[in-house]
Amino acid sequence: MSRGAISIGLSAAIVSVEGERPCALVVAHDGDEDALPFGPFDPGSQRTLEQGLRKWVGEQTHFDLGYTEQLYTFGDHGRRAPAGAGGGADGRVVSIGYLALTRQDEDAAAAAARDTRWRGWYHYFPWEDWRDAKPRMIEGVILPRLKSFVKAANDAKAAELRRDRVRLCFGTDGVAWDEEKVLERYELLYEAGLVQEFARDNGGRAEETLGAAMMFDHRRILATAIARLRAKMKYRPVVFELMAPSFTLLELQRTVESLLGRRLHKQNFRRLVGEQGLVEGTGKFAASARGRPAELFRFRREVLRERPAPGLRLGVRR
């Protein structure tokens, strides 16, 4: 790749849920950081971007993608070229990120190649999981460090802008926590030097190393994918792409909670699901070692024709 030339890379955030653990499929490197499945786009042999993505994912993970959607184009200066791009340090790499959803079952586990694994996404973003309680690292580490970041601003105006970002991203000063601001939070922590990628990209030292780092800007791509999924599941029934063909309402609730990173009120959740006509009973019951067996439900696909935005309109917190 000549000086100033641009190559196109393709990256996939493949998401599944294992029990109550939302996961991303990553390419693991011994002694190095995890990466999302990625590779170059070859316009000479690949008719579409998605065709190129499916080819690379298949080669790297032995995994056939199901539901996919394009996320964003990542083109910041300094991105390194994906393997096989043939580029040097002078070239510019533009990566097109995709979100893919799949059910976590034996077939999905078997599909992973030897050097890939399902890794819980809170391994990379531990401050995003509020299901048990507000993560201690927010009050103990993140907010004190961000307070120093605000004070270190060049002038009062810049300090106020940083203070506003902290308030909106981490819900301080009476602002509610917004689970959709995953990317904004990661970018704020990056700029404040609180993640390893900052030190790696800038040749310095990170004040903290919060969460596990990923190769290149793949943690930023994964943050974008999580934010997209958390937002989209509220107006489209994408969560059912992650569910078994039949499931209990508790299993559905626990899956939704795992993705959002927060608990929901049980009765309100069931009322909302029922009112929105998203599921229907199968007439069968799940086996139970104790207590009354729970009824099994399935996604009611007719809802896609009945209204334009059939998602989980969640609004009530526990």
DSSP for the chain? --TT-EEEEEEEEEEEEETTEEEEEEE--TTS-BB-SEEE--TTT-SSHHHHHHHHHHHHH-----EEEEEEEE--TTPPPPTTS---TTSEEEEEEEEEE---SHHHHHHS-TTEEEEEGGGT-GGG--SSSS-HHIIIIIHHHHHHHHHTSSSHHHHHHHHHHHHHHHT-TTPPP-TT-HHHHHHHHHHTT-SHHHHHHHTS--S---S--BSTTHHHHHHHHHHHHHHHTTTS-GGGGGS-SSB-HHHHHHHHHHHHTS-B-HHHHHHHHHHTT-EEEEEEE---SSSSPPEEEEE-TTHHHH-S--S-----B-
> Quick check: 88 pLDDT over 60?
no
- Residues 112 and 146 placed together within one structural domain of the fold: no
Q: Flag the least confident range among 64-78, 90-104, 273-287.
A: 64-78
> Quick check: 189 pLDDT over 90?
yes
- Residues 177 and 240 placed together within one structural domain of the fold: no
- Residues 101 and 46 placed together within one structural domain of the fold: yes
- Residues 25 and 107 placed together within one structural domain of the fold: yes
- Residues 140 and 179 placed together within one structural domain of the fold: yes
User: Which of 86, 120, 154 is the endpoint of a domain?
Assistant: 120
Mean pLDDT is highest, among 22-31, 57-66, 240-249, for 240-249
Is 216 part of a structural domain of the chain? no
User: Which of 87, 120, 153 is the endpoint of a domain?
Assistant: 120
Contact 93, 268 (CB under 8 A): no
Per-residue pLDDT band at 80 (split at 50, 70, 90): low
Is 229 part of a structural domain of the chain? no
> Quick check: 111 pLDDT over 70?
no
Q: What's the whole-model pTM score? A: 0.90
Is 302 part of a structural domain of the chain? yes
- Region 155-170: mean pLDDT is 98
- Residues 189 and 207 placed together within one structural domain of the fold: yes
User: Which of 176, 211, 246 is the endpoint of a domain?
Assistant: 211
> Quick check: 265 pLDDT over 60?
yes
- Residues 109 and 166 placed together within one structural domain of the fold: no
User: Which residues, at least 6 apart from 95, have a Cβ–Cβ distance to it below 8 Å?
Assistant: 8, 9, 10, 11, 38, 73, 74, 75, 79, 82, 216, 217, 221
CATH number where 260 lies:
1.10.10.10
What is the pLDDT, as a whole number, of residue 76? 64
Is 19 part of a structural domain of the chain? yes
- Region 26-41: mean pLDDT is 84
- Residues 133 and 116 placed together within one structural domain of the fold: no
- Residues 139 and 113 placed together within one structural domain of the fold: no
- Residues 104 and 142 placed together within one structural domain of the fold: no
CATH number where 38 lies:
3.90.79.10
- Residues 102 and 147 placed together within one structural domain of the fold: no
Is 175 part of a structural domain of the chain? yes
- Region 258-283: mean pLDDT is 94
- Residues 109 and 174 placed together within one structural domain of the fold: no
> Cα 50 from chain centroid?
19
Is 313 part of a structural domain of the chain? no
How many structural domains does the chain have?
A: 3
Structural domain boundaries enclosing 291: 235-306
Is 18 part of a structural domain of the chain? yes
